[in-house]
């Protein structure tokens, strides 16, 4: 999807989304949908349940900067999601 961009023009960021949501069947797969529809695969996904709350972290080391706000918006719209926090930092490019 993003392969048609000149690699020199593409900016990537390292981003982690930290979420709290209602514990429910299908929650984790719904949280992956914003990634899947953009052909993105998270590098790490972690979750644990505490009572009726699921705490979830989804991270990518190199997410295209132009989709970060789109993915975040989609995560906020998932039914049952209470809070979404984003931790991002720019990636330094290695030149060969």
Dump pLDDT digits (tens) for 3-14: 555 555 579 999
Dump pLDDT digits (tens) for 24-71: 999 999 999 999 999 999 999 999 999 999 999 999 999 999 999 999
pLDDT at 88: 87
3-state SS record for the chain:
CCCCCCCCCCCEEEEEEEEEEECCCCHHHHHHHHHHCCCCCCCEEEEEEECCEEEEEEEEEEEEHHHHHHHHHHHHHCCCEEEEEEEEEECCCCCC
Question: Which two structure tokens, joined as six digits, stand for 11?
Answer: 């900016």
pLDDT at 44: 97
Percentage of residues of the chain with pLDDT beyond 70 = 83
Predicted TM-score (pTM) of the model is: 0.83
Domains and CATH numbers, the chain: 12-90 (3.30.70.260)
């Amino acid at each position: 999807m993003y392969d048609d961009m000149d690699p020199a023009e593409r900016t990537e960021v390292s981003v982690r989304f930290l979420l709290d949501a209602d514990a429910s069947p299908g929650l984790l797969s719904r949280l992956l949908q914003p990634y899947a529809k953009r052909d993105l695969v998270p590098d790490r996904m972690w979750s644990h349940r505490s009572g009726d709350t699921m705490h979830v972290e989804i991270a990518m080391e190199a997410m295209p900067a132009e989709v970060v706000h789109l993915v975040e918006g989609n995560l906020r719209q998932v039914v049952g999601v209470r809070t979404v926090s984003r931790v991002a930092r720019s990636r330094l490019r290695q030149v060969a």
